[in-house]
Amino acid sequence: MKFTLYPLVSCLTVVAIAFSCTDHRIPELMPSCPIVQESIKRGYTSTETPPNSETLTIEGALYGLPAGKQTFILVPTETHTYSYNAQKLLTQESRLYTNSNSTINYEYTSSTIKQSEFTGGNLTKVTSYSLNSQSLIGSIINGNTTYKYDANGYLIETTEMLSPTVIQKTTYTIDNGNVIKMEMTNPNFVLTIVYTYDLTKENIPPKKLFEGRPSRNLLIKSSQDYHQFDINLYTNFTATYSYTYDKQGKVQRKLEVLIYKSGVGGINPNAAGPPSISTTDYSYACQ
């Protein structure tokens, strides 16, 4: 069984129709060289070698794998393209997959953000958010989710009413400018993720500024523990990240190696699945 965490707010963009960027309360986050494209490749397990594939060899011990050289075949799976306005605020995210495509547009005023999602050119979902006094997302309009931040703009808590009697709460622990722990709880499960960073490297430029202040440094490891109460299921994901850089020192590629274990009644080391490998290549507006 696989559990995947997605950002609590999948995308927040901005169409500066009636919004003054001077209202943004964290101006130092405005990227001078924003990311315009992310090209993602994932591990390919078939015996055939597909077109446009890449062979990647890594040292296994650095990623929690058996020691020695480990070789994987990667294939392109998706491309994310980002568009910005003159103030370098995100206005659109386009996602191109092998067999489909989607687009997310963002419009906002001084007090709201409207997120419109399209799949195959058809409007599929509209979500509107109200902004708080920090010009960050405060709640989903006509929804059941609220967001809480600290004085520096870091997201520290979300609360979602799943039903009149069931509340799901997510808390974030901040240390030295980084999110070091996330814990999500509801009556059915508890999910905890612990994050480790390279404190000598700055994080990649943020794209969705109204989600709150991002972690300061580059993520190098995350460990996710999930406990589902009804069947006493435990699942653990451990992801290790490494990076390569361009001549200007910007992150050019991120490599993620994900290993998971799962078992009923406790983690069973023999229940570990095969590693999941992916890379993300970044392109910047100033290249």
Residue 140 lies in a domain: yes
Residues spanned by the domain of 153: 21-284
CA 213 to CA 216: how far, in whole Å?
A: 8
Number of domains in the chain: 1
pTM: 0.86
Q: What is the CATH number of the domain that holds 208?
A: 2.40.160.190
In a domain? residue 155:
yes
17-24 CB contacts, 8 Å cutoff, 24+ apart: 17/107, 17/108, 17/109, 18/109, 18/110, 19/108, 19/109, 19/110, 20/110, 21/87, 21/89, 23/110, 23/135, 24/135, 24/209
Which residue's structure tokens are 């958010």?
129
Nearest to 16 by CA among 105, 121, 141: 105
**Is residue 210 within 8 Å of residue 107, measured between CB atoms?**
no
The reply to whether 237 falls in a domain is: yes
Local structure of 82: helix, strand or coil: strand
For each of the chain's 287 residues, which pLDDT tens digit applies?
333 333 333 333 333 333 333 444 466 677 888 999 999 999 988 777 788 899 999 999 999 998 999 999 999 999 999 998 877 778 999 999 988 999 999 997 889 999 999 998 899 999 999 999 998 999 999 999 999 999 999 999 999 999 988 999 999 999 999 999 999 999 999 999 999 999 999 999 999 888 999 999 999 999 999 999 999 999 999 999 999 999 999 999 999 999 998 888 888 877 778 899 999 999 999 87
In this structure, how many other beta carbons lie within 10 angstroms of the beta carbon of residue 45? 8
The answer as to whether 164 is a domain residue is: yes
